[in-house]
Amino acid sequence: MALQAATQKMVAEFDYPASDVNKGVKEFLREMDEGLGETGTTMSQIPTYVTAVPNGKEKGLYLAVDLGGTNFRVCSIMLKGDTTFSLVQSKVAIPKELMVAKTSQELFSFLAKQIELFLEKHHNDHFEATVRRRRTASASEGYKDQEYFQLGFTFSFPVQQVGINKGYLIRWTKGFDIKDTVGKDVCSLLQDEINALQLPVKVAALVNDTVGTLMARSYTSPNRTSTLLGAIFGTGTNGAYVEKLDQVKKLSIGESSKDYDQTTGDMIINTEWGSFDNHLSALPNTPYDDALDKESNNPGIQMFEKRISGMFLGEILRRALLVLANNTEAAFCSDVDSSKNDIRSTASIGPNSTLYKQWGLDTSFLSVVVGDTTPTLKIVRQALEKDLDIDAASYEDAVTVKALAYAVGRRAARLSAVAIGAIVLKSHRLETDDVIDVGVDGSLVEYYPNFEEMIREALREIPEIGPMGERKIQIGIAKDGSGVGAALIAWSAAQRYSGSSDESNEAETPSDPTNPASNANVDTVADPNRRPSLGQKIKHSFRRSISGLLGKNDNEASPST
């Protein structure tokens, strides 16, 4: 009984009622406007300079790399010129020590090395040809631009972007902490290391993962609907959306050069909503949130992200469970004798349990536990044993763990609705459109049971949206969209550099590209032609929806923007 009462009390601490959701939406809208007007605000609202419009006929082989919170992915994407593509990719976990390396060079040389390995493995013909050419090339001649792969660099951290392939790191997030990188142009850091390896690769575009997700979702979205928002709910959280250029007031007060296409009237904005309400005027705050933040490597920063994303939810739950374990009256996982335990044993927490260690509980634990529908909660108990070295947990203990894991996840989903709801309202599309498309990606939205449904429930509680508006909001997974999105943006950038009006863009392709689809030794090959639903959607919607995304119709789409 004591445990039940203590659990209920704790679960209530994670309540985030409708009134708070609405307060959150108002503050979110205020911070969005503030961020569009000036720099240095809580929510950065970073202009991405993505306004160029691919027209669906582009051809060429592009590289894309993605430095996320956990993995580094390298992929090549063959745009086939008929609006289909093939993609080859490989992925490595980022070594923990590199996330907190002493110098940027340690991290970026590792990244360049992975690109080299990828080219060697998957594009050996081109790699070899380039190596041979390099040996014979005269120093003065150098390389011709055509010899280069154009690379889209998905860098999933806050960057002050000042051009399509230039951006200075504002701060690290998600456990990265390399002081020396802050304030530096991350494209140059990568390019320098690529050059040191003499690789034929040009970093052509800098892309946040949310922007890539938005681009990719936009051309695969059902019913040719242009996408409003790309959002990540994974290790970190963030969103990028389509904003009217005239709303981005800080651009007109000299934040940037005017070196971007203004004809579309729109620009994609990377909100960096992880830092929404760092001053906690509207966000919920429990003792567990507070302790997590104070002991993190960036206290006071990314406060929204610290309540929503995969990097943090396990840690919030761990801290809550630890408080319960230390409450002798509650007797969590500590039976006086076996009569108190439904499996006639006595529960115990191993002395080396990671329950006692910071970051000792992975967020995947929450998904597993919440998904357990067995009558005896045996999956919860297995997970307790495996992940936390808790032996013979009773049914009551398991009920507690499931209830708390649910409460933490539900609050995260309802907070996510604040961001999505505010952006939908700001766009005014509810007034005009039948469908408002949102592309999402990330482990939480993919694996936490009913995450989307819980978001929807909260969206209905926002009076300006309500059940009618909520039904118009279409949320779809854009799995690994950042790769294709980055390639598309690299394509657009390459067009601009060359000033080419050649629709096929063959001048931008490497001279002898290997076709990834024909390479048998690949880590993964995704060919839309082999996946009818995705393939068909791409076929029909690539040109229109990218155009729509950027506010142009097909006839206006210009390949040379």
Least distance to ligand BGC, CB of residue 208, Å: 5
- Of the pair 71, 198, the CB lying nearest ligand BGC is at 71
Q: Which segment (82-90, 112-120, 151-159, 524-532) binds ligand BGC by CB under 6 A?
A: 151-159
Least distance to ligand BGC, CB of residue 281, Å: 21
Please check whether residue 265 is in contact with residue 247, taking contact to mean a CB–CB distance below 8 angstroms: no
Please check whether residue 248 is in contact with residue 267, taking contact to mean a CB–CB distance below 8 angstroms: yes
Least distance to ligand BGC, CB of residue 253, Å: 24
Residue sitting closest to ligand BGC (CB): 236
- Of the pair 237, 427, the CB lying nearest ligand BGC is at 237
Please check whether residue 341 is in contact with residue 334, taking contact to mean a CB–CB distance below 8 angstroms: no
End-to-end CA distance of the chain: 68
Structure-token pair, residue 233: 């709910």
d(CA 394, CA 339): 11
- Is 443 labeled as catalytic in the residue annotation? no
Q: If we measure between CA atoms, which residue out of 79, 63, 173, 197 comes closest to residue 122?
A: 63
d(CA 216, CA 541): 11
Q: What angle do the packed helices 395-427 and 310-325 form, to 10 degrees?
A: 140
Please check whether residue 190 is in contact with residue 108, taking contact to mean a CB–CB distance below 8 angstroms: yes
- Of the pair 273, 365, the CB lying nearest ligand BGC is at 273
List binders of ligand BGC among 293-332 (CB under 6 A).
305
Indicate the burial class of 1 (C-beta count within 10 angstroms; 0-12, 13-18, 19 or more). exposed
d(CA 309, CA 233): 6
Please tell me whether residue 272 binds ligand BGC under the rule CB under 6 A. Answer: yes
Please tell me whether residue 238 binds ligand BGC under the rule CB under 6 A. Answer: yes
Structure-token pair, residue 118: 């990828």
Structure-token pair, residue 468: 């009618």
List binders of ligand BGC among 61-120 (CB under 6 A).
68-69
List binders of ligand BGC among 206-225 (CB under 6 A).
208-210
- Of the pair 86, 210, the CB lying nearest ligand BGC is at 210
- Of the pair 7, 367, the CB lying nearest ligand BGC is at 367
Q: Which segment (28-36, 112-120, 154-162, 320-328) binds ligand BGC by CB under 6 A?
A: 154-162
The DSSP letter of residue 40 is S
Least distance to ligand BGC, CB of residue 38, Å: 19
**Residue 351 C-alpha from the chain's centroid:** 36
Catalytic residue among 44, 104, 156, 221: 156
- Of the pair 10, 267, the CB lying nearest ligand BGC is at 267
d(CA 239, CA 35): 14
d(CA 163, CA 394): 58
- Is 171 labeled as catalytic in the residue annotation? yes
- Of the pair 132, 179, the CB lying nearest ligand BGC is at 179
CA distances from 177 to 99, 109, 142, 420 (A): 6, 16, 37, 29
Please check whether residue 300 is in contact with residue 277, taking contact to mean a CB–CB distance below 8 angstroms: no
Q: Under DSSP, is residue 380 helix (H, G, I), strand (E, B) or coil?
A: helix
Please tell me whether residue 416 binds ligand BGC under the rule CB under 6 A. Answer: no
Q: Which segment (27-35, 139-147, 156-164, 188-196) binds ligand BGC by CB under 6 A?
A: 156-164
Q: Which segment (134-142, 228-236, 352-360, 542-550) binds ligand BGC by CB under 6 A?
A: 228-236
Please tell me whether residue 232 binds ligand BGC under the rule CB under 6 A. Answer: yes
- Contact with ligand BGC (CB under 6 A): which of 35, 54, 56, 158? 158
List binders of ligand BGC among 52-71 (CB under 6 A).
68-69
Q: If we measure between CA atoms, which residue out of 43, 96, 46, 101 comes closest to residue 69?
A: 96
Total residues contacting ligand BGC by CB under 6 A comes to 18
Q: Which segment (72-80, 152-160, 189-197, 285-293) binds ligand BGC by CB under 6 A?
A: 152-160
- Contact with ligand BGC (CB under 6 A): which of 48, 83, 173, 191? 173
Least distance to ligand BGC, CB of residue 176, Å: 9
Q: If we measure between CA atoms, which residue out of 218, 196, 217, 215 comes closest to residue 205?
A: 215
Please check whether residue 181 is in contact with residue 193, taking contact to mean a CB–CB distance below 8 angstroms: no
- Contact with ligand BGC (CB under 6 A): which of 174, 381, 414, 426? 174
Pairing of strands 227-233, 436-441: parallel
Please tell me whether residue 45 binds ligand BGC under the rule CB under 6 A. Answer: no
Catalytic residue among 73, 171, 217, 319: 171
- Is 437 labeled as catalytic in the residue annotation? no
Residue type, 429: R
Catalytic residue among 66, 185, 209, 397: 209
Where does this chain bind ligand BGC (CB under 6 A)? Answer: 68-69, 156-158, 173-174, 208-210, 232, 234, 236-238, 272, 274, 305
Catalytic positions: 156, 171, 209
